[in-house]
A and B are shown apart, each in its own frame.
Chain A
Amino acid sequence: MPSMSLVYDAVNVGDALPPLTLPPLTRTTLALYAGASGDHNPMHIDIDFARAAGMPDVFAHGMLSMAWLGRLLTEWAPQRDLREWSVRFSAITHVGERIVCTGRVTEKLERDGEPLIRVAVATANEAGAVKLTGEALIAAVRR
């Protein structure tokens, strides 16, 4: 990850973060994520359970997508500068989808004397269907 904090004056509203493109989502990834995260909800790993609950198939953990957005943000700024972030899970991420994570600067502000960059983030599939939206506040430094 970058070792240097964002420079407040070098960041502009409208700037795009370098996008993060994931490989097509596999069941293996869902199994690994279930074990690693501790979220063993069978909806994400057991197709029999998912079908019994009326879903056609297993689908991704919401927090897996949030973790991908974490990669997007920490490839742009050091993790220590990530103050707070939030996401809304608006659609299901299906097996086989190729997800792209994007971010854009929406505001520059100051809070309690600290310069902050507000970023809107999202994940979407290759057809542009949005799965998650959210925003993050990242600390910056003045030069």
Chain B
Amino acid sequence: MLDESLIGRSFPPHSADVEAGRLRLFAKAIGETRPEYCDEAGARSAGHRSLLAPPTFATCLYMDVPDPFAWLLDLSIDLARVLHGAQEIRHFAPVYAGDRLTFSPRIADVVHKKRGTLTLLVKETEVTNQEGVHVAAVRTTLVVRAAQANDATPAAAD
């Protein structure tokens, strides 16, 4: 259930490869055309060892598991009642094509708002690469509307 007893719960780490083709598709999707992000030769001539991952990319790769929303279902949370409220990323080292990242998520906080009609679920994920370098720390705040909440109320993400 979605309550304070979840605070501190950790999830099994999982790993994902940073693939060059995936980075090029990501660049296309966000309208990024600079060579560091799209062209290996251009990235190297700009001093990078391979294609550079844009600053939000590693955060996205943690959804690279067969069912990225299963952990919500395990907590009996309906995906249709979840909004992304906030996101914080701290960067410690660059991420490049060819890297393999490992994600270690845990529940950092559970906060009830608006007389319990909204719950903030805060997940923190540490990201390391194949050499054990800590590349990023990600803090994700999800806003969960209670099932009994008035559905006519806009789901304000605060």
B25 touches A83 (CB 8 A): no
A35-B25 contact given A53-B80, A70-B54, CB 8 Å threshold: yes
User: What 1/0 flags go to B147-158 for Cβ under 8 Å of A?
Assistant: 000010000111
User: Interface stretch among A5-13, A87-95, A106-114?
Assistant: A87-95
Chain B's nearest CB lies how many Å from the CB of A81? 9
- When distances are taken between beta carbons in the complex, the residues of chain A under 8 Å from B139 are 86
**Which residues in B have some Cβ–Cβ distance to A below 8 Å?**
22, 25-26, 28-32, 34, 36, 46-47, 52, 54-56, 59-61, 63-64, 68-69, 79-80, 83-91, 94, 139, 151, 156-158
B28 touches A86 (CB 8 A): no
A39 at the interface (CB under 8 A from B): yes
- Complex CA gap A38/B80 in Å reads 18
B91 touches A63 (CB 8 A): no
A56 at the interface (CB under 8 A from B): no
- When distances are taken between beta carbons in the complex, the residues of chain A under 8 Å from B79 are 41, 43
Listed A/B pairs (8) with beta-carbon separation below 8 Å: A1-B34, A32-B29, A39-B63, A84-B90, A85-B89, A86-B88, A87-B87, A88-B85
- When distances are taken between beta carbons in the complex, the residues of chain A under 8 Å from B55 are 70, 73-74, 79, 82, 85
- Complex CA gap A37/B60 in Å reads 5
**Which residues in A have some Cβ–Cβ distance to B below 8 Å?**
1, 3, 22-23, 29, 32-33, 35-41, 43, 49, 52-54, 61-64, 66-68, 70-71, 73-74, 79-80, 82-91
A86 touches B86 (CB 8 A): yes
Partner pick for B59 among A52, A63, A73, CB 8 A cutoff: A63
A89-B32 contact given A38-B64, A80-B94, CB 8 Å threshold: no
A83 touches B54 (CB 8 A): no
A63-B60 contact given A53-B80, A79-B94, A88-B86, CB 8 Å threshold: yes
Chain A's nearest CB lies how many Å from the CB of B54? 5
- Complex CA gap A71/B79 in Å reads 29
Chain A's nearest CB lies how many Å from the CB of B85? 6
Partner pick for A3 among B46, B54, B61, CB 8 A cutoff: B46
A32 touches B54 (CB 8 A): no
Partner pick for B56 among A40, A53, A70, A90, CB 8 A cutoff: A70
Closest to B24 in A: A36
A38-B60 contact given A70-B55, A74-B55, CB 8 Å threshold: yes
A88-B157 contact given A38-B63, A82-B91, A83-B90, CB 8 Å threshold: yes
- Complex CA gap A54/B155 in Å reads 11
Which of A35, A61, A84 has the largest number of chain B CB atoms within 10 A? A84
- Complex CA gap A43/B30 in Å reads 18
